[in-house]
Amino acid sequence: MFLLLAIALTLAAGLLAFHLVQFFLSVRELSNFLKELSTGNLDARLFSRRKGKLERIAQDITSVMESTKARLDFAEAERQRMEAILRGMSDGVLITDTRGVVLLANYPFKRLLTVDGNIEGKQIAEVLRHPGLLDMLRDTLHSGEVISEEINLSKDGREMHLSATGVPIRAASGVSGIVLTLHNITRLRQLEEMRKDFVANVSHEIKTPLTAIRGFAETLLDGALEDKENALRFLAMIRNHSGRLNSLVDDLLTLSRIELGDVQIKKTVIELDQVVDTVFMTLRDKADRRGLTLRKSIPESAGTVMADRDKLIQIVLNLVDNGIKFTERGEVVVGLEEAGGQTALYVQDTGIGIPPKHLPRLGERFYRVDSARSRELGGTGLGLAIVKHIVHAHGWKIRIESERERGTRVSVLLESSS
């Protein structure tokens, strides 16, 4: 009896010891597995060599880990893709958390605000010195609403206009951060100002001759027709103003077609000598009336140039006409010269010259150095703008040099000559 009891106790103790060993081995395996996870090793797996429930638990844990790893890999890929998109945007993008720590700032954002170095991980107040943007970020965070404003700042001595938008990042617990986007609208504002100036200038330029025509016509209708001497003078004034109005409309249509790309440049081999002769023939009488000489200075060896004949005539015609208008005495010269391997077709006059401050704006529509004198001489302020567009359409460049009371020289740097 005692023998049987001893054997039973021994077997029970052995079985208990076996299970205890199994348990401690399983705990160690689980402990090692958890340590691997704590180091960030999501590829760690729990493989139990024990049979029974522990094996099934290990299989379940492994299945959960594989599923979790797949979801995390997908989330990381999405995060990297979105970050690449944000960094590659042409607009400036800044992302902060609710504490104002910068999570991401792309290159356009740093360039627009002249921020150097890596600012990610820093407080936004440390790197952003614009009070308006800081206020907008705070308002977006507190209100939880999208806020858009136009921000003006100075960069390199020039005013820059930015459209700024703050967008809250929403999470289950509320707002978790802010996305700030900056879009540079400086060019848009400049174009808007140009449009306003253009409309104002066109209105003024059209109204002036129309008012004169109407005034002279009403005077004639009120009885001036009987006064033949004054009637002829008034009719001549009406003809002059209508001609000026017609020139303005023609120049506007020409400039519009050029800017819209409707004017095609068809280059052929052109004899420069013939082009200049055609222009001189057209403007000879006008030059003679002002007592000016038209002179050509093109070497016989100059040969030809690849250009659109009609457009090249228009370039030289406008430049020579301007030279005649603003020269009291002397001459207007059309020449060709080689300098530094570059061929330049130039028009030079001995006129009043242009103050240096006006040179950068020459070629803008309706821009005149002396508005009163230009109108008196029938200038529309569009001729040089047309010339610049045609020159650029040829792939050439234009250079303007002037000296007060010594004259002006406009050079067209040709693409090639032979």
* pLDDT tens sequence across 102-148: 888 888 888 888 887 788 888 888 888 788 888 888 888 888 889 99
The verdict on 110 and 227 lying in the same domain is no
The verdict on 319 and 417 lying in the same domain is yes
42 burial type by CB count under 10 A (0-12 exposed, 13-18 middle, 19+ buried): middle
In a domain? residue 414:
yes
Q: How far apart are alpha carbons 185 and 295 in whole angstroms? A: 48
Q: Please determine, for residue 20, whether its predicted confidence score (pLDDT) is greater than 50.
A: no
The verdict on 386 and 246 lying in the same domain is no
The parent domain of residue 222 ranges over 188-262
In a domain? residue 22:
yes
The verdict on 208 and 285 lying in the same domain is no
Number of domains in the chain: 4
In a domain? residue 84:
no
Average pLDDT of the segment spanning 167-181: 85
Residue that is written with structure tokens 């493989």 in the block: 47
The verdict on 414 and 281 lying in the same domain is yes
The verdict on 375 and 270 lying in the same domain is yes
Q: Residue 222: give its domain's CATH number.
A: 1.10.287.130
Select from 43, 76, 109 the last residue of a domain: 76
Average pLDDT of the segment spanning 281-298: 89
DSSP 169-205: EEETTEEEEEEEEEEE-HHHHHHHHHHHHHHHHHHHH
Of 26-40, 84-98, 199-213, 386-400, the one with minimum mean pLDDT is 26-40
Select from 128, 154, 184 the last residue of a domain: 184
The verdict on 70 and 97 lying in the same domain is no
Would you give the end-to-end CA distance of the chain in angstroms? Answer: 129
The verdict on 103 and 157 lying in the same domain is yes
Q: What share of the chain is helix, strand, coil (3-state, %, to 5)?
A: 55, 20, 25
The tens digit of pLDDT for each residue in 74-89 reads 666 666 666 666 666 6
Which candidate, 149, 135, 142, 146, places its Cα nearest to that of 179? 146
In a 3-state reduction of DSSP, which class is residue 402? Answer: strand
The verdict on 147 and 215 lying in the same domain is no
Q: Residue 160: give its domain's CATH number.
A: 3.30.450.20
What is the arrangement of strands in the sheet containing 92-97, beginning at the earlier edge strand? 102-105, 92-97, 174-184, 158-171, 147-155
In a domain? residue 82:
no
Select from 218, 247, 262 the last residue of a domain: 262
The verdict on 22 and 49 lying in the same domain is yes
In a domain? residue 30:
yes
